[in-house]
Amino acid sequence: MSYLRSDLAVQRSEFTVDVPLAVERGEVVALLGPNGAGKSTVLHLLAGLLGPTSGSLELAGRVLSAPGARPVPVPERRIGLMSQDPLLFPHLSAGDNVAFGPRSRGMGKANARVAAAEELARMGLDGMADRKPVQLSGGQRQRVALARALAADPDLLLLDEPLGALDVQTAPEIRQLLRTRLAAAGTTTVLVTHDVLDAAVLADRIVVIDRGAMVDEGPATRVLSAPRSPFSAHIAGVNLLVGDVVGSGEGTVTVRSGNEILVTGVAISGLATGAAAAAVFRPSAVAVYPAEVAGSPRNHWPATVVGLEPAADGVRVRTSVGVAADLTPAAIAELGLTIGARVHLAVKATEIRIHPH
């Protein structure tokens, strides 16, 4: 039986948030999804801050919520919650903030102070126990908040965008520290983030949520390399065309996508005709031409440019057929690409991976 099992659900005005979770002890699971998908709602259900309309929750062998039963009060759940706002007690020192968790669990004052000092040292804050939050930088306050959460020795740690308020110089340092501490403590964690890098670095497994439902789930490497939903593909920075297998060749499979595009690529596993499949390929593998080119790769489609946006290595071209291409600014200028321009896209079959869907 999983360490955490939840099928809690709650009705919202637009949709029902219903995301079953099974998390093993010491596992870190990241919840990803567009804004308003219900990610934070899932955390609030687990923490007991929001009452479910149905379902139950079991954690570390204890039933915390079940139909017809009085839910376990928040302070007794042994669940820690940390958000992008550290929410430190402003009148307490860093050491007393961290000692708050152990003290609330019955530890004596002297022992709690020792535990707090040890946790602060692990966070690289040795010698700062007497400082008030106002005397600390944003990154230091976030470290104190993490130390406070871990010092309480929770059965489950909930992290809601923990790096969201940090600047680009501080976030990588705290991200690596968080990875190290979670691994060392073996803390079972559910993480909500909008940053795919957080998920890639911190999570063992990713759950993708859209409109309150799970649309993709699996090991972080699989979800980011072979996504099964449009949002998964978007955060992974790849193109995704989903459809049915209509034919196969020597190591290749041809899929007809929902928008009637035929795409041929390398089959990752055996796929029979009629099977649901997903074609995944990088925007950098897509060539863009002003007109159809004779002898072009097997995959080529007419399209209209619907968007131009900055990308890591240049400009990402969004098109009407749901395929994006990454081009240099010089190529954009040479092709004279603007919104509404008609183009032809081409991708080699060897650049496309076809996965079961």
pLDDT of 168: 74
Q: What is the pLDDT averaged over residues 53-60?
A: 96
pLDDT of 219: 92
pLDDT of 59: 97
Q: What does the radius of gyration of the chain's CA atoms come to, in whole angstroms?
A: 24
Kindly tell me if the per-residue pLDDT of 270 is higher than 80: no
pLDDT of 259: 66
Instruction: Report the length, in residues, of the chain.
Output: 357
User: Distance (Å, rounded) from C-alpha 147 to C-alpha 310?
Assistant: 37
Output the average pLDDT for the chain. Answer: 90
Bridge partners of 307, per DSSP, are 318
Mark whether 27 and 122 lie in a shared domain: yes
pLDDT of 271: 81
Mark whether 109 and 246 lie in a shared domain: no
Dump pLDDT digits (tens) for 122-163.
Answer: 888 888 999 999 999 888 898 899 899 888 889 999 999 888
Q: What is the pLDDT averaged over residues 93-103?
A: 92
Give the number of domains in the chain.
2
Which of 225, 250, 270 terminates a domain? The answer is 225
Q: Is 74 inside a domain boundary?
A: yes
Dump pLDDT digits (tens) for 244-264.
Answer: 998 887 778 899 887 678 899
pLDDT confidence bin for 226, thresholds 50/70/90: confident
Kindly state the tokens that stand for 195.
């940053």
Decide which of 266 and 298 is more confident.
266
Q: What is the pLDDT averaged over residues 172-200?
A: 88
The CATH number of the domain where 100 resides is what?
Answer: 3.40.50.300
pLDDT confidence bin for 296, thresholds 50/70/90: low
pLDDT of 284: 93
pLDDT of 42: 96
Dump pLDDT digits (tens) for 2-16.
Answer: 999 999 999 998 899
Kindly state the tokens that stand for 56.
């139950």
Mark whether 305 and 188 lie in a shared domain: no
Kindly tell me if the per-residue pLDDT of 65 is higher than 70: yes
* In the block, residue with structure tokens 């795409």: 263
Kindly state the tokens that stand for 206.
């990713």
Q: Is 170 inside a domain boundary?
A: yes
Q: What is the pLDDT averaged over residues 226-236?
A: 85
pLDDT confidence bin for 31, thresholds 50/70/90: very high
Kindly tell me if the per-residue pLDDT of 107 is higher than 80: yes
- Candidates 60, 152, 40, 155; CA nearest to 103 is 152
Mark whether 286 and 155 lie in a shared domain: no
Full domain range(s) for residue 265? 239-356
User: Distance (Å, rounded) from C-alpha 252 to C-alpha 186?
Assistant: 43
- Candidates 231, 252, 253; CA nearest to 240 is 231
Q: Is 129 inside a domain boundary?
A: yes
The pTM for the full model equals 0.81
